[in-house]
Amino acid sequence: MKQFDRRDFLKSSAAAALAGSSSFGVLSRALAADPINFFAWSAGVDQVKSHISAFEAKTGLKVAYANAPWAQYRDTLVTKFVGGAPLDVLWVSDSWLPEWAEAGWLAPIDGYRELTKYNAEVDDFSTKSMTYKGKQYGLTYYTDYMGFFYDEQMLKKAGISAPPKTWDEVVQQSLKIKKAGLSEYPMMLSMARETWLIEFISAMVFSHGGRLVDDTGVAVMDDRRKGAREALTWVVDAVNKHKIVSPACVEIGELNGLKAFSSGQHAFAMLGRYRVRTLNDPKQSQIAGRVKQGLMPAGPNGSHATVGWNRFYGLTASAAKNKAKAADAVKFIEWFGGKADGKYAFQKLMFMDVGAGFAVKPLFKDPEIIKTYSQYSDIKMYERQQALARKKDVVSPWFGEWDEVNGTAWQAAILGKSSVNDALKRSADTWNKLRRRS
Amino acid sequence: MSIRAGALRGVFGAPVSRYDQASALWLLAPMLAVLLVVAVFPVLYSFWISLFDLRLTRPHRVPFVGLDNYLEVLQDELFWSSVWRTTSFTLMSVTAIMVIALAMALLLNEEFRGRRFLSAMLLVPWAIPYVANGLMWKWIYDSGYGALNGLLFQLDFIDKYMVWLGDSHKTLALIANAFVWKEVPLATILLLVGLKSIPADLYSAARVDGADLWRRFVHITLPALRPSFMLVMIYETMMAIRHFDLFFILTEGGPAEASHVLAWQVYVETFRKLSFGTGSALAYIMALVTFLLAFWLIRTLGRKL
């Protein structure tokens, strides 16, 4: 019997390798292929995982999914980008888009018709929120807006038959409720220094007919006619003159505001629209069944406009450079942000499971969604207010830096440490300085 | 192995051979390498960074600016108001810690029923992590449903709920209170150790000489306690200047700028604005101030140890 020498061993090894590579070609490609690196914040993790599994089964592609808490998301991602970590698709907040686009970390998706075709069915402000310098950078994952809510029962007890349509009416009705001894501070406003503050501020400013920054990017918040003066004056007066908003509003964050309103301490509240599900849930709210959504009250020169926000699937510049990788990433983005098997499956899943808002208009007609939403709120009002939502006008590469100063300036005015004009001038000066520097 | 005349001498004066010197160096080498990597290199590198306008969100343009970041920080009004707030916070906190810890240590130095239980209870705040401590105080101070308002209201001290952290006149003092609560146990233990080391004979002799309680405290306890006192004061001063956790959890520097201290400013510059150049410069200035203060404390007060 011939001995199995070193040469034979090498020959047979090479043959085995060749056979293996051809027989298990498909499998090995799937296993060894570079996965789509998807990074998100830790929301709806189970829903994301199940939708990824469906994607993998459908396409044979692999996805490496990782997440980080929302509070540390921006820092984590910036560090990953700078460090060159593998990232292909990620969740992006509209607030960070200019910063990340300017840094060259995100790639526009305008060239991918399979993604942009969905714009026709998406709310306009949502698409605008994903657009920077004329280029679209993603497909929506979750969209919502700042809503105005009231405790219908408390209003009735005070002899009020209809919710306020204007901010003046909010004052009048609040004073009536206060006089009736139903609430010490009928209006709940969260003005604590946190990421939500700019949404509260923007909603107040937009509904008063003002702007913080105009379309050319120039600060107008200190402009007497078209700025934020009326909005900030209303807040300052509500706290200090009418005493319908608690002076503690500067320490009340969005979550604490939700708790305070759901404990029955207030008649009116400005909160993220999606909070209505919690507010009317008997397990989580003492005023369940009594909370209704009204249109955002209008200022003397304003409208029922509010601020909307958008979170979307972004394609990284590094993925876009690699044609094969980009093709896979685009399939993934469409599966999540567009339609999967002909349906807006993921957006519906997130709405049904966690109450997350959506920007794709056909879902407003979905019988299952209508039925579910009617259990705790009015879908017509949801849709009507969303149509009046606007994107934040201050989103810019220097937004983070300016936001620090602006939040402080608004708080200083509320606390009486500076005048409304001085606060807005400080905010505008900082904006202009940062804009010049960049 | 040979021992050269005039060679190094060890702790007990015995000459140290070349072999021992080399062995010591080799044995210390791994730890020195670790220290170089985890301590010396980051310190030097952060100084290097402080000389550049490094913004993480602008990775392709990192100009060398020399000492401009330092000048920018020193010309910033917010920096100087932060220095003032940090000083106020430190003075308030350290004074309160020293007074309360001394009183607690004197109490626990006496023999009485329940002393051991009280000693064990004293350790509870120390055992609580800073973040948990911050969240607990956030709940206590909450203006809507906080325990402090609930207690004062039930005791009829107030007729309606008060605004605590949201009142810029009270904010710093309230944060100092939470800091003191956490720091007093360690300070008490350190002072108690000092108290235990005072010979009982001194007190007996003073009693024989007719010294009353106050005189015994002033002429025996306080001088003997000075080393522990200095140690605690220097340690707590450093802790107060650098403290960040409670500012982050309770107020995020607000309301307005009421709790915007130096440590918070370093965080904002570095991790919110992602401006590592000015953040590093600020951290260096803060480290230098802390070092100089510690040096001064040790030179002026510590020499009496």
CB A145 within 8 A of CB A200: no
pLDDT at residue B297, rounded to an integer: 81
Mutate to test the interface with A, among B52, B54, B56, B57 (most CBs of A within 10 A): B57
* Least confident piece of the model among A62-66, A121-125, A162-166: A121-125
Under CATH, to which class is B76-304 assigned? mainly alpha
Rounded alpha-carbon distances, angstroms, from residue A318 to A107, B57, B60: 8, 16, 15
Is A417 in the B-facing interface, judged by CB distances under 8 Å?
Answer: yes
Predicted pLDDT of residue A173? 98
pLDDT at residue B19, as a whole number: 78
pLDDT at A288: 95
**Contact B305/B224 with Cβ under 8 angstroms?**
no
Interface-testing mutation among B143, B160, B269, with chain A (most A C-beta atoms within 10 A)? B143
**What residues of chain B have any CB closer than 8 angstroms to a CB in chain A?**
56-60, 142-145, 160, 163-168, 251-257, 260, 268, 271-275
The CB-side HSE value for B191 (13 A sphere, CA atoms) comes to: 29
CB contact under 8 A, A404 and B166: no
Q: How many CB pairs under 8 A join A and B?
A: 93
CA B149/CA B161 separation, integer angstroms: 6
pLDDT score, position B7: 54
CB contact under 8 A, A263 and B160: no
> In chain B, which residue's Cα lies nearest the Cα of A248?
B166
> In this predicted structure, what is the pLDDT of residue B1?
44
Q: Which residue of B has its CA nearest to A97?
A: B57
B2 or A232: which carries more pLDDT confidence? A232
Per-residue burial over B143-173, b = 16 or more CB atoms within 10 Å of its CB, e = otherwise: bbebebbeeeeeeeeeeebbbbbbbbebbbe
Arithmetic mean of pLDDT, A101-110: 94
Distance from CA of A390 to the nearest CA of B (A): 25
The answer to whether residue A99 neighbours chain B at the CB level (below 8 Å) is yes
A416 to chain B, any CB pair closer than 8 A? The answer is no
* Chain A contact set for B58 (CB, 8 A): 102-103, 397
- Please calculate the CA angle A85-A87-A92 and round it to the nearest 5 degrees: 120
Give the model confidence (pLDDT) of A131-175 as tens digits: 999 999 999 989 999 999 999 999 999 999 999 999 999 999 999
The answer to whether residue A297 scores a pLDDT higher than 90 is yes
Nearest CB among A104, A249, A265 relative to B60 is that of A104
Taking contacts as CB-CB distances below 8 angstroms, the residues of chain B near A417 are: 168, 256
CA distance B9 to chain A (A): 49
Q: Which of B145, B254, B273 sits opposite A193 (nearest CB)?
A: B254
Contact between A90 and A68 (Cβ < 8 Å): no
Nearest residue in B to A410, CA atom: B256
CB B97 within 8 A of CB B187: yes
User: Which pLDDT value is given to residue A25?
Assistant: 44
Residues of A in contact with B60 (CB under 8 A): 103-104
Q: Does A281 touch chain B (CB under 8 A)?
A: no
Nearest CA in chain B to A75: B271
How far apart are the C-alpha atoms of A189 and A237, rounded to whole Å? 13
- CATH classification (class only), A145-308+393-437: alpha beta
Are B143 and A400 a contacting pair at CB < 8 A? Answer: no
Average pLDDT on A245-272 reads 94
- Chain A nearest-CA distance from B208, in A, is 59
Give me the mean pLDDT over the A55-80 stretch: 93
**Residue B148 confidence (pLDDT):** 94
Contact A247 B256 (CB under 8 A): no
Transcribe B126-182 into DSSP letters: HHS-HHHHHHHHHHHH-TTT-HHHHHHHHTTS-SSPPP-TTSTTTHHHHHHHHHHHH
Whether residue A412 lies within 8 A of chain B, CB to CB, comes out as yes
pLDDT tens digit sequence for A354-392: 888 999 999 999 999 999 999 999 999 999 999 999 999
Task: Please give the residue of chain A at the shortest CA–CA distance from B257.
Answer: A408
Q: Do A193 and B144 touch (CB under 8 A)?
A: no
pLDDT value of position A22: 44
Task: Find the CB nearest A400 among B168, B257, B272.
Answer: B272
Sketch the domain layout of chain B as residue ranges: 76-304
The first and second tokens of residue A414, run together, are 């509320």
Determine the topology of domain A34-143+309-374 in CATH.
Answer: D-Maltodextrin-Binding Protein; domain 2 (3.40.190)
Domain ranges of chain A: 34-143+309-374, 145-308+393-437
**How confident is the model over A319-331, as a mean pLDDT?**
95
pLDDT value at residue B22:
83
Q: What is the pLDDT of residue A131?
A: 94
At residue A226, the pLDDT reads 86
Residues of chain A with pLDDT > 70, as a percent, come to 92
* pLDDT higher than 90, residue A60: yes
Higher pLDDT, B55 or A65: A65
**What is the rounded CA–CA span in Å between residue B227 and residue B162?**
42
In chain A, whose CA is at the least distance from the CA of B268? A404
| Residues in B touching A397 (Cβ below 8 Å) | 57-58
Residues from chain A contacting residue B57 (CB–CB below 8 Å): 78, 99-100, 102-103, 397
CB contact under 8 A, A250 and B257: no
A253 in reach of chain B (CB within 8 A): no
- pLDDT class for A4, splitting at 50, 70, 90? very low
pLDDT in tens, A5-37: 545 544 544 444 444 444 444 444 444 468 999
DSSP SS3 for A46: helix
Of A103, A265, A397, the CB nearest to B59: A103
Question: How confident is the model over A178-190, as a mean pLDDT?
Answer: 95
Low-confidence ranges of chain B (pLDDT < 70): 1-14, 302-305
Contact B143 A246 (CB under 8 A): yes
